[in-house]
Amino acid sequence: MSKVPVSFGYEFGNSNENTRRHVMHEFAVNGAKNLVLTDSLLKKMLPDRMLAVKLQEEMAAEGLKFMDAHAGYGKFVDINCPVPEARREMIARHKLTLYMVAAMGVETIAFHTGNENAYPEYSVDTQMDFIKRSLDELLPLAEELGIVICIENIWHRTNTPERLLEVKKCFPTDALGFCYDAGHANLMDKGRNHPESNAFQAWGDVTPAWDDRILEKMLPHVVNCHLHDNNGINDQHRNLGSGNIDWNHIAGLLEKAPRLQVIQSEVCLVMANAAVREVCDKFFEIFGR
């Protein structure tokens, strides 16, 4: 597992240049070599090409590099978007994101398929069809740029492992893989014991498709992963070991993932009140350097 690089995410959305430099330095002095090109950074880069130059300079000064990325997400942005007047803009945004990511030397990017309850007037099957239509347009560019688009499990009907495998079956290209999210998978397992859990809320009157083998199902196609902990109720993005996920089990399975390129910390340091050192130490303890 030590041969697979570890990448660390940080909530840079509200940061200025001084804050960014400080956070980058904190990661560097605590042993990190790679950071995530987050959706918040990409959003800032869209109207400001010079920011990409600044980010590369700041990272180089600390001996860091961007290893992976996370595409923008949300209503009218996710690839399940069925609204005709929004889809052309959504595809254009994602194509521009792929160009930006490639220019930063990043080779994997996580995509949300989107959640069905954003568009209640459209069936799940219809939204799955739009996901495939979006990938029809995005994957040729990803192939050209040498980027793997990694679709992510969440806790909705459009992103169960079965739905992701359904999509992957339509696109045998290596430019499409999976992003395994351990925190989301935990909600779709232990959430069954908590009526107030995110999964129960998302599925409404339908019983969620509880599953304790999500990683096993996704494993052949897992290219990157989002690792963070929670209590099985809410998507808390805590440090590893501060929730109820079995990390020895997860690490053992990921070691067998044939396509795995990067292990990503998606611990939200600010939200979880976690220190950079604590997060780095825990990831290196479990996954090596």
- pLDDT tens digit sequence for 179-235: 999 999 999 999 999 999 999 999 999 999 999 999 999 999 999 999 999 999 999
DSSP sequence for 48-113: -HHHHHHHHHHHHHTT-EEEEEE---STTTSTT---HHHHHHHHHHHHHHHHHHHHTT--EEEEE-
pLDDT digits (tens, 9 = 90+) for 46-85: 999 999 999 999 999 999 999 999 999 999 999 999 999 9
Distance CA 197, CA 232 (A): 7
| pLDDT given for residue 15 in this prediction | 86
Token readout for 109 is 């990017």
The pLDDT, as a whole number, for residue 29 is 98
For 195, residues 6+ apart whose C-beta sits below 8 A from its C-beta are none
Distance CA 223, CA 146 (A): 13
Q: C-alpha distances in angstroms, 87 versus 94, 176, 261, 270?
A: 11, 20, 30, 33
**Overall pTM surpassing 0.85 (yes/no):** yes
Helix pair 276-287, 247-254: axis angle to 10 deg: 60
Give residue 2's pLDDT.
Answer: 54
Phi, psi of 70 (to 5 degrees): -130, 120
Tokens 């495998």, residue? Answer: 165
pLDDT of residue 3: 85
Distance CA 254, CA 215 (A): 8
Q: Can you give 109-177 as a three-state secondary structure string?
A: EEEECCCHHHCCCCCHHHHHHHHHHHHHHHHHHHHHHCCEEEEECCCCHHHCHHHHHHHHHHCCCCCEE
Does domain 6-287 sit in CATH 3.20.20.150? yes
3-state secondary structure of 239: coil
Q: How large is the average pLDDT for residues 241-250?
A: 97
- Residue 288, pLDDT above cutoff 90: no
- Phi then psi for residue 200, to 5 deg, are -60, -45
pLDDT tens string 130-183 = 999 999 999 999 999 999 999 999 999 999 999 999 999 999 999 999 999 999
3-state DSSP assignment of residue 197 = coil
Look at residue 1 and tell me whether its pLDDT is greater than 70. Answer: no
